[in-house]
Structures are given as C-alpha cells and as structure tokens.
Amino acid sequence: MEFFIDTANLEHIEETLKKGFVSGVTTNPSLMSKEPKSDFIKHIDKITEICEEYDNVPLSVEVFAEKPAEMYSQALEIYDALEYENLNIKIPVGYEELEVVSKLHKEDIDVNVTCCFTEAQMELAALAGARYVSLFYNRLLDYGGNPLKVLTNVRNNFDKNNINSEIIVGSIRKERDIVQSWAAGGHIVTAGYNLFPGILEHPMTDYSVKGFLSDFKDWLV
C-alpha cells in the first residue's frame, strides 16, 4: 500500500515528500503544461533532484510523441538525459505501443503503462514487461465502467500467476476513491496535491484534540 503524488509542481512534490507518507511521483504532459513554460528535460531534472533527497523515490515521466517508433526514441532520450536511477517511462497502452514497452524492458528501462481501463490492457502490459500498470479510476467510472471490479480481477490474476507488475490507481477525486482502491487490490494510489490536506481533516479530530488539551490545562496548577 503506497501513496504517490500526481503533479509536476516542484513545491508540491517537496512539501508532500517531507510528510513521509508519499513514496513516489507521477507526471504527465497535461500536468507539465500547468507549470511555467520551461525546457522539458530541465524541469524534470529539477524533480529528480528533489526525489534524490528522499531515497530516490520512483518517478514516472510520460513520453509526448504520438507514434510508437518515436515514443521509443524519445523514451531513450529522456532516460539518457536524466540519469535517474528510479526513473519509469510512461507509455500509453496500445497494441503497437506494447512493442515499445517490451523493447524498453529488455534494455532494463522501467516502464509505467498508462491510460488503462480494462483487465486485458493491464494484464497484457504486464506480460510485455511493465513495472507499473496505471488504471484511470474515475475516468472509467464516468464511462460507466466498474474500476473496483477491474482492480480486483487484475490483482487476483497478478497474485495467482506471480506477476510482479504493480497496479497504480490514478484519476482520484475523493478520499473514498483512495481507500476503495487499496481495498480492491491497487498497490499504489496516485493523487493530485489538492486532495492531500483534506483527506487528513475531520471535525471530530479537532474536537478531540481541543478536549484533551482543555482537560490537561484544567489539571495543571
């Protein structure tokens, strides 16, 4: 059971890694576009510098090429440019794209296969050599699918067949999504920074702490 942050924001990455409950970082082109315009490699390199300070946590970086052959070339360029020991190249799932996954795996480059919505996508990606397979929880729910059923089925098949790929659950919108994803078999949940403070808040927590302190102050002389 692990928690990653899904962002390309340097401050948010460092802030959450400091808290101790975040153990990895995922990014994508859309998240990159929300940051001030910069050189792609230079920005990711700044992220790796932060990650190195926190035990070289896993970092997933997505290619932005559209054709499989270009994805492969770009993946190699990113991998060589960053020289980060726990880098995972994100490749979108697809029939032709799985050849890219396989080639990278054979070159000892870890791959996170993303944009998964079905058991078949995740399981075939794992067979192709993916270290991670990423399910889009709420996007699947919006489409009318059942992400919890998909998670349970895939995790059962992975465990039954000794498949080492790990399931990352993304597209998280609520605290409930996190808890249910872990319960259904997700190894890792990745969520945006906006969720983080709220999931640790509860009115009864504040009420209880104030009550303890009030009782203690009354006891002190």
Whichever domain contains 163, its CATH number is 3.20.20.70
Query: How is residue 196 written in tokens?
Result: 């983080």
| CA gap 184, 106 in Å, rounded | 31
Alpha carbon 126 to its chain's center? 16
Distance CA 3, CA 21 (A): 7
Task: Find where tokens 């924001």 sit.
Answer: 9
What pLDDT is recorded for position 198?
Answer: 87
pTM for the model stands at: 0.95
Low-confidence ranges of the chain (pLDDT < 70): 221
Q: From the candidates 90, 149, 160, 174, give the one annotated as an active-site residue.
A: 90
- Is the distance from CB of 105 to CB of 113 less than 8 angstroms? no
**Gap between the Cα atoms of 63 and 146, Å rounded:** 28
Domain that holds residue 144: 2-219
Calpha distance 58→48 (Å, rounded):
9
Clarify whether 90 is annotated catalytic. yes
Evaluate whether 55 touches 47 at the Cβ level (below 8 Å).
no
64-101 pLDDT, tens digit per residue, is: 999 999 999 999 999 999 999 999 999 999 999 999 99
Closest by Cα among 95, 94, 93, 89 to 73? 89
Q: What's the pLDDT score for residue 28?
A: 97
Determine the pLDDT at residue 199.
87
Q: How many domains is the chain built from? A: 1
* 24-40 confidence digits (pLDDT tens): 999 999 999 999 999 99
* pLDDT (0 to 100) of residue 6: 98
If we measure between CA atoms, which residue out of 176, 173, 117 comes closest to residue 146?
Answer: 117
